[in-house]
Amino acid sequence: MLDNDVKELRVLANEHQNTVYEMEDKIKHFPEKESRLTTALESLRADREHLRTLPIDEGTKIPVFRITIGETEYTDRKDAAKAFEDTVLAISKADTPVKIGEFQGFPLSVTVHSSAMGGGMSATMNGAYPHTTKLIESFAHNLRRLEGSLYNIDRKIDEVNNNLAKLIVDHTEAQKIVAEPFAQADELATKESRLKSLTEELNQAAIEAKKNASQKEKTCYFERAKLKKEAAKIAKRSSIAKNQKSKSKDNGIC
């Protein structure tokens, strides 16, 4: 029972230590992650300020459509979609962003992904923060995708804010866990000490029992050897007596 208790406590101690290692790793990488999220948040807010300066279409309630492909600015969606498609399909480089123009004042680049990178195409509007979206076969819909990626900036800001808040909470919890010792450390130490003493006592008792068992076995062995020796002497004397009697008969001695 004591041995089982110690084993269970050691498992709990190892789990606690593994958790501490994990928390120490989180603490170690916290400054880098916090800096990255804080920078992303600042960049998104800067891009949002730029979007707020754009004229709003009263019908759609979103910024007035405007895109530049090459050196030409388009405000008509049909013409823009055709120019966008022709330009993208002419790209020959794979896995390399190629700048093709601007969208709402943000530099616009397209990347054609090789099969090794999963294939397909993506477009990125590089403001203070990179806004990326996948492209599909319909370039009329791709224009909507550009708008969706850019105009959902409030949702992106909320996501980064939530991630930053969670990171800070996790960091605080990690510090608490690292600072707290294993709750059952004293119990483990006591039972380990008791188990060690008990094991030594049992081992000593086993040694003594072995010694006693060996002595008895040795006594029995020598007793048997003694009996065998005596039996051999008797057998020898009997054999000599028989030989002598036989010789006497042969010589006619009664």
Average pLDDT of the residues in 10-18: 93
pLDDT at 109: 97
**Would the pLDDT of 132 be above 70?**
yes
What is the residue whose two structure tokens read 């616009």?
Answer: 108
**Would the pLDDT of 75 be above 80?**
yes
How far apart, in whole angstroms, are the C-alpha atoms of residue 161 and residue 37? 8
pLDDT at 232: 72
Neighbours of 111 (CB within 10 A): 19
pLDDT at 203: 87
The first and second tokens of residue 105, run together, are 């004042």
Four-point Cα dihedral 179, 169, 30, 19, nearest 10: 50
First to last CA, the chain: 83
**Which pLDDT band holds residue 211 (cuts at 50, 70, 90)?**
confident
DSSP class of 120: -
The first and second tokens of residue 163, run together, are 């991630």
Give every CB contact of residue 190 below 8 A, 6+ residues apart in sequence.
none
* Mean of pLDDT over the chain: 88
**Would the pLDDT of 247 be above 70?**
no
Average pLDDT of the residues in 69-78: 95
The first and second tokens of residue 180, run together, are 């707290």
pLDDT digits (tens, 9 = 90+) for 191-204: 889 888 888 888 88
pLDDT digits (tens, 9 = 90+) for 25-71: 999 999 999 999 999 999 999 999 999 999 999 988 899 999 999 99
Neighbours of 149 (CB within 10 A): 19
Give every CB contact of residue 17 below 8 A, 6+ residues apart in sequence.
182
pLDDT digits (tens, 9 = 90+) for 143-183: 999 999 999 999 999 999 999 999 999 999 999 999 999 98
pLDDT > 70 fraction of the chain, expressed in percent and rounded:
86
Give every CB contact of residue 141 below 8 A, 6+ residues apart in sequence.
none
pLDDT at 254: 43
Give every CB contact of residue 151 below 8 A, 6+ residues apart in sequence.
51, 62, 63
